[in-house]
Amino acid sequence: MADIKNEYEALYNKAIQFTQSHYENFPVLSFFIAKHLRKHVAVIYQFARQADDLADEGNDPKEKRLLNLSEYEDSLTLALNGNYKSDFWKVLHLTVTSQNLTPKYFYDLLDAFKQDVVKNKYSNYEELLDYCRRSANPVGRLILELNNIKDEKANFSSDFVCTALQLTNFYQDVSVDILKDRIYIPEKELNKFSITEDEINNKKFSNEFKELIKFQTKRAGNLFLQGRNLLKFLPLRLKFQILVTIKGGESILKKIKKLNYNILENRPTLSKMDFIKIFLQAMLTWR
């Protein structure tokens, strides 16, 4: 029995090492995660990161990337039925079963990664929200389940936060996504503000574009406000981490405003001083 426990702890340590090597802020953030849950968070992160790498595999054709993701999904299904293609799947299965996690959330993430391969533009806001429902919201719900929070009101509030973070990331990365022929601003809303895809691709900043991004960021900010109700459901450490996360997203939106909404040429980022301010602000309000 002790040998089996030691084997799993060694596998979990590999997941933690993987996460630390791919996510430089993990050692800091992990301080605010209950110690017994850190290994499970690391495994979930590794699952998502590996899938993300498959979806964005260099110059591989779309067909190859989709095939790789399908094989990855097959490995997940096998693992959930007790058949493991590698030690990683063994430890993921243990995390899912021991923490009573919802398998559907893992499949939703994979479905979103597949969509990333074949879809780079969105017709309307509802279509974009559906993508966020699968690409971002499952992560928040898994974190709640890890903390044994099974409340629909908490889930809905978490969805608001995760969707707001995803949308904020889209606006933050507009200048980067242009190079990948990706536009995460709905076509219907481009038309509403009289903006063409060519204008975005050519980085043509105009008053119309400014008003478009002002509209987008205001809506994301409202989602953050709606999501703050989540904090009352959380244990103290997790509450602090989520509060910092929300404030970080809101700070990016403020940076976009300071850029006069010109995110075609500039990618807003947070400096070390910004992070210090966010941590201090969170410390004053988290209890």
pLDDT, tens only, 37-96? 999 999 999 999 999 999 987 778 999 999 999 999 999 999 999 999 999 999 999 999
Percent of the chain with pLDDT over 90: 78
CATH number given to 120-287: 1.10.600.10
Q: 195 vs 26, which has greater pLDDT?
A: 195
Question: Would you state the pLDDT for residue 27?
Answer: 55
Q: Do domains 1-118 and 120-287 have the same CATH topology?
A: yes
Structural domain boundaries of the chain? 1-118, 120-287
DSSP 108-172: HHHHHHHHHHH--B-SSHHHHHHHHHHHTHHHHHHHHHHTT---HHHHHHHHHHHHHHHHHHHHH
pTM of the full predicted structure? 0.93
Q: Which two tokens stand for residue 138?
A: 């499952």
Give the confidence band of 3 by pLDDT, cuts at 50, 70, 90: low
N-to-C CA span, the chain: 41
CATH number of 1-118: 1.10.600.10
